[in-house]
Structure 1
Amino acid sequence: MKYRQTRLQVGELATGQALNVPIFDFDGRDKTAPNVFIQANVHGAEVQGNAVIFQLMSLLETYDILGDIRILPLANPLGINQKSGEFTLGRFDPITGMNWNREYQAPVIELAQWFERHQALDDAALIKAYRQELVNICLQGLDNEWGLSTGKRLALNLQALAHEADIVLDLHTGPKSCKHLYCPEYDIKAARYFSIPYTLVIPNEFGGAMDESIFCPWWQLSDFLKCQGRNLDVPISAFTLELGSQEHIDLAEALNDAKGILAYLSHRGVIKEKLTPQVMPRYACYLKHYKKYHAPLSGLVEYKAPLGKVLPEGQVLANILRLDLYGTEQVLTPLTLNQTCVPILHFASASVHQGTELYKVMTQVFELSFLI
């Protein structure tokens, strides 16, 4: 057995029971190799990441592990248990209404002052000191004299662990979704290793998600150092992997995605074995070209556009059925877009209010091979 299992307490229920997250640690034998943090199921209904972790850990037991790998399945015990009938809710904190994946902290560091104190350090020592600064900010946040919301406590506990790693993978799914990857612009070459056909290229802007909370401060440090005449490539990699649809587990697809993760870890020297990425076309768009389409009217939706496939301009995206308007031309309304796109995900329910975020689509899509 190559792993150690422990638990992290991230909160308490009203009746006093502890909310614990299982942690699996695979210890590497080369302390110079990158170390890894992987979590899944921060959103309660997004369970496929746990299946990927199962397949990944099964494979890791057969590999020569060089870098430490820390894995947290079932990362949000409150969200996972947030049920309504046969459905898992678990996307928003039921007390505050906040998205569980928007509670992470953007560290406030006065870079000029911080660098003045640390400029004599070489790159390795500088990275170590900055990493400790980020961890300390999270730990100090957990010690807030005014207390913390459940979501903020969970996020800071997870973020403090993630800041200790060189590679951070946050495993999610969409409502009804094809696979896609959120990748920072500086690290776009990494997209060639994962078994994921579509990539969203994201800027150095913090929006509250785990991956942004990890890479943004390092990207900012790298940019600041360039202004000081010192070059430091961003030493941290952080990605969100969207691995299909919520409330659904597919072990065969999970194995495929676990192999994609291993191909990336092989490339980074986390495992000794040399694994090649899956041969497949890979496409991307910049986050500013990733568009939300909101339902122009309420009704019952027939989702027509296949996810992950090019939808030409003017082709039907979905149909809205309004039985209250039976006998009129408005009983069935086709929805189209005036530009070619690739639908990536759509709302889970066939019953929608006006204004519901019906689809997310990529526009101005390009092939990644041209960049990498």
Structure 2
Amino acid sequence: MIPNIYTIPLIQLASGDRLSLQVYRFVGAKPGKKVYIQANLHGAEIAGNAVIYQLIEYFRILEVTQLFGEVWLVPVCNPLGVNQRSHRFASGRYCVYEGKDWNRIFWDYEKTQEDLQEFAKSQVNLDIDTIKKNYLNKIINHFITLTEDIHSPSSVPFTELFRYRLQSLSIDADYLIDLHTSTDRGLDYLYYFSHRESSAQHFLFDYGILLDDYDGDAFDEAFIKPWLALENAFQKLGREIIFDVEAWTLELGSGMQMMPQSVEKGVQGVKNYLLYKGVLALNTKAIAHEMTFRSKSQITKYYAPVGGMVQARVPLGSVVKAGEKLYKILMFNKNGELPSLINICAEKDGLVYDVATNHAVNEGEYVLAVM
């Protein structure tokens, strides 16, 4: 297959130069689902670009009859963030103009709709495909109104323009996959939403975190929360409906790195998921992988209780028991006393799945996380 390639202007710089998005769209011989996959929303999280490159190469050798529906691939989806540097380190987690996390800026229809229960009542006796079409039209019609502010004389801040560009590409997708890594050093795992465990197992990851506690306005959250809200509304009316709409964030190893094993896990996971969903038509069956699931509310992040230097930290991937030592802090007192070592122990059992890159911490800075 040969993709349709679109270059979409994103922002014009003071120099007159433009930063752009590039979209690779593969369309199958028969209609079907729309899959949207993007990478590098946070500037330092580059591994997903390698995943998308390998997926492009994979789709290019497929016959058009082996793809149902369409797949949209957007590498380097945040060129402004990707190009931010501080010494040798990539930053790019926050918009330098507004100080906002690039993945906490997205428009969430669930927060603005006022007639959800009334809509559910009007649709409760319809078939699920008709309900899905009607609700998607409501979301899109509301989304279109955002252009009024963009084209007004006062215009909008860049984060609002940026989010509009990405969400205009993805808002009508059936399946959304956002490729990330840890900001620091992390294991491979995914974030998922309620009632999607069986689908999650087809990404072939060992660990999954249920987003039962939202940070707010993240790309995957903003996409799926309206659908989750509608499912809950139908449940109150006595009808159980789970829409075939899914959003995923895949965390592929460590920031500022393209770790081959993490890239390969991402590629194989996406392929297997698309096979499971019937997007790929191949002479093989998708497989499910047994996973360990945790809720986001069960995660414990550890922050330095004092300033100093982190020593003897347990390795990434360690299984720890409550009361076991996680790390020490070497603290230099400025009150005439000798330096001291402070032991920090686990509050509960769990797996160390993410650790900070920097071993020098101010009081209150992040050190590691346990699921």
TM-score under structure 1 normalisation? 0.89
Q: 1:17 to 1:203 in 2, by over 3 A?
A: same
The answer (yes or no) to whether the contact 2:212–2:297 under 8 Å persists in 1 is no
**Rounded Cα–Cα distance in structure 2 between residues aligned with 1:242 and 1:165:** 21
Number of residue pairs matched by the alignment = 360
SS at match of 1:135: helix
1:77 to 1:239, Cα distance in 2 relative to 1, 3 A: same
Question: In the alignment, which residue of structure 2 is the partner of 1:48?
Answer: 47
CA contact (8 A) 1:45 1:90 kept: yes
2:205 aligns with: 196
Question: Are 2:150 and 1:147 equivalent residues in the alignment?
Answer: no
Q: Is the 8 A contact 1:179 1:198 kept in 2?
A: yes
Aligned counterpart, 1:27: 27
Give the counterpart of 2:131 among 107, 126, 130. 126
Alignment partner, residue 222 of structure 1: 231
Q: Identify the residue that residue 320 of structure 1 maps to in structure 2.
A: 329
Deviates more, 1:217-226 or 1:138-147: 138-147
1:136 aligns with 2:144: no
Which amino acid counterpart does residue 168 of structure 2 have in structure 1? A
Conserved 8 A contact 2:332-2:338: no
Matched residue of 1:217: which SS? helix
Aligned counterparts, 1:235-246, within 5 A? 235-246=244-255
Q: In the alignment, which of 149, 160, 173 is matched to residue 165 of structure 1?
A: 173
* Identity between Structure 1 and Structure 2 (%): 28
Summarize the Cα distance change of 1:272–1:232 in structure 2 as closer, same or farther, 3 Å threshold: same
Deviation per residue, 1:128-158 (Å, 9 max, x gap): 2221322333332243144322122212221
Contact 2:317–2:353 at 8 Å: present in 1 too? yes
Report deviation, 1:74: 0.2
What is the RMSD of the two structures over their aligned residues, measured on CA atoms?
Answer: 2.4
| TM-aligned CA deviation for residue 298 of structure 1 | 1.0
Match of 2:68 in 1: 66
Distance in structure 2 (CA, Å) of the matches to 1:315 and 1:120: 55
Q: For the structure 1 residues 254 and 326, does the alpha-carbon distance in structure 2 shift closer, same or farther, using more than 3 Å as the test?
A: farther
Aligned partner of 1:38: which letter?
A: I
Name the SS for the 2:69 alignment partner. coil
Structure-2 residue corresponding to 1:92? 94
Say if 1:142 and 1:153, in contact at 8 Å, map to a contact too. no
TM superposition shift of 1:342: 0.9
Distance (whole Å) between structure 2 residues aligned to residue 78 and residue 37 of structure 1: 21
Q: Work out the CA distance in 2 between the residues paired with 1:339 and 1:121.
A: 47
Residue deviations 1:335-356, cap 9 Å, x none?
2113212111122212211101
Query: Aligned residue for 1:101?
Result: 103
Equivalent residue letter for 1:11: I
Structure 1 residue 30 displacement after superposition = 1.9
Residue 314 (structure 2) pairs with residue 305 (structure 1) = yes
Residue 142 and residue 333 in structure 1: after superposition, are their counterparts in 2 closer, same or farther (change >3 A)? farther
Contact kept in structure 2, 1:67 and 1:269, CA below 8 Å: no
User: Tell me, which stretches of 5 or more residues in structure 1 are unaligned?
Assistant: 363-372
Inter-partner Cα distance in structure 2 for 1:204 and 1:289? 10
Given that 1:7 and 1:22 are in contact with CA atoms closer than 8 Å, whether structure 2 keeps it comes out as: yes
Tell me the residue number matched to 1:6: 6
Within 5 Å, which residues of 2 pair with 1:157-306? 157-174=165-182, 175-203=184-212, 207-273=216-282, 274-277=284-287, 282-302=291-311, 304-306=313-315
* Distance in 1 (alpha carbons) for counterparts of 2:197 and 2:124: 29
CA distance in structure 1 between the aligned counterparts of 2:185 and 2:264, rounded to whole angstroms: 20
Residues 106-121 of structure 1 correspond to what in structure 2 (within 5 A)?
106-107=108-109, 108-109=112-113, 110-115=115-120
Stretch moving more, 285-294 or 318-327: 318-327
How many Å apart are 1:205 and its aligned residue?
5.0
Change (3 A) 1:205 1:317: closer
- Paired with 1:270 and 1:105, the residues of 2 have a C-alpha distance of 27
Does the aligned pair in 2 maintain the 1:218–1:235 contact within 8 Å? no
The answer to which of 21-30 and 131-140 deviates more is 131-140
**Could you tell me how far 1:252 is from its partner in structure 2?**
4.5
Which position in structure 2 is the counterpart of 1:368? none
Distance 1:333 1:132, change over 3 A: same
Question: In the alignment, residue 82 of structure 2 is paired with which amino acid?
Answer: I
The answer on whether the counterparts of 2:120 and 2:230 sit within 8 Å (CA) in structure 1 is: no
CA distance in 1, matches of 2:286, 2:335: 56
In the alignment, the residues of structure 2 paired with residue 116 and residue 194 of structure 1 have an alpha-carbon distance, to the nearest angstrom, of 35
TM-score by length of 2: 0.89
Deviations 1:93-114 (A, max 9, x none): 1111110000011112221444
By how many angstroms is 1:116 displaced?
6.5
Q: Decide which moves more: 344-353 or 106-115.
A: 106-115
